[in-house]
Structure 1
Amino acid sequence: MSQAREIEVKYRVRDLAGLADELYRRGVVLSPPVHQDDQAYAQDGWRYGMSKLGVAFARLRTQDGGHLFTLKRPTDNELACLEFETEVADRDQMHEAIQHMGFYPTVRIVKTRRSARLGDLSLCLDDVEHIGTFLEIEKVVGPGQTGEAVQAELHAFALSLGVELERTTDTYDSLVRAAPTGV
């Protein structure tokens, strides 16, 4: 079984109108907005401030009445991860199961997401409660490509948009936790 990795770069959007115009100019049509309610989990023993490399993190997402369980394990850095995802029928039961597997809940991330595809790139425009609007650019790769090399390619694409974006290497859970109203 080959293990695909999700590689991403993330930017705080400073010019939403300019970004929307540039995406439209390139023929990118964003999906209608969807509400995502994510509960993040960390392995017992891991705490904020520790390295995330090689550590498994779980997420339980509710969107459009359905639930997704995701496990991510950062490889090269926090935004280059092995990722496994599946639908689950019962959020409450999965929440309990995740805790019994040795994870504890960290933060809740609530956002409105609009997404699109552009070639082999996934673009996500997220309005995240407490922290603002972000653009994520993602690519799924197989073995043999380093996260840093793919992130450099994704960053070059972001720069080519010609709009004001502020890159961050933090994940949403870290950003929400650090926000003045984060929990």
Structure 2
Amino acid sequence: MTSSDVLEATTTRAVCEVEVKYQVGGLTMLEAALAGRGVVLSAPVVQIDQAYARVGWEYGQSKIGVPFARLRTERGRHLLTVKTPVANELSCVEHETEVADREQMHAAIQQLGFYPTVRIRKTRRTAMLGLMSVCVDEVDGIGVFLEIERIVEAGEAGEGIQVELDRFARGLGVPLTRITDTYDSLIRAARARV
């Protein structure tokens, strides 16, 4: 789902973003498999994300029930997203809105009790397939990923949706390694190994 789709969805009701994520073993194979399913990926868009955590939370602690913020810049637009993991890190209640001034929002987020954790730069291509949003991300420093997302009503069982999304991903028949961490956690872990 694109950021504007999520923005529109969150203005009318409480929603959860439910996703599955995979490290991609062969980008060309993935592109061909998606095309074979009728998926037409958008032109690449660069996204610069700053992730934030609540003061007192540290990596290694559970993320369930803890709100996290993200400040994204994409094509000159700035989006503030707050996600609270419900069932797992990839099933979250989400609220998102556009902001006019990135630097002022950065300062406001910190004043609200969050601290900056990891900066994420990725090139994303997206497509919609029915109710699913398909994202192919090339994330600086950690590789190529496939994300498949669905927006559901708050309270719907995220794990059941993740099973359906995983079934679609596995049906593509390409080398994929399922990942249960968010990009900020993956980047932080990769930096720790260096």
Same fold, judged at TM 0.5 (above)? yes
- Runs of 4 or more, structure 1, over 2 Å off, are 180-183
Compute the displacement of 1:3 (Å): 1.5
Check whether the contact 1:40–1:106 (CA below 8 A) recurs between aligned residues: yes
Check whether the contact 1:116–1:123 (CA below 8 A) recurs between aligned residues: yes
Counterpart code for 1:168: I
1:25-81 alpha-carbon deviations (Å, 9 max, x no partner): 111110000000000000010000000000000000000011000000000000000
Q: Which runs of 5+ in 2 are unaligned?
A: 1-11
Cα distance between partner residues in 1 of 2:64 and 2:14:
17
Query: Equivalent pairs: percent with the same residue?
Result: 61
Partner residue in 1 for 2:146: 135
Q: Which runs of 5+ in 1 are unaligned?
A: none
Partner secondary structure for residue 21 of structure 2:
strand
Compute the displacement of 1:181 (Å): 7.1
RMSD of Structure 2 on Structure 1 (CA): 1.4
Which structure has more helix as a fraction of its residues? 2
Cα distance between partner residues in 2 of 1:171 and 1:118:
23
1:160 aligns with 2:171: yes
Partner secondary structure for residue 191 of structure 2:
coil
Counterpart code for 1:124: C
Compute the displacement of 1:182 (Å): 8.4
Partner residue in 1 for 2:159: 148
- Residues 140/11 of structure 1: CA separation in 2 closer, same or farther (3 Å cut): same
Check whether the contact 1:176–1:182 (CA below 8 A) recurs between aligned residues: no
Partner secondary structure for residue 151 of structure 1:
helix
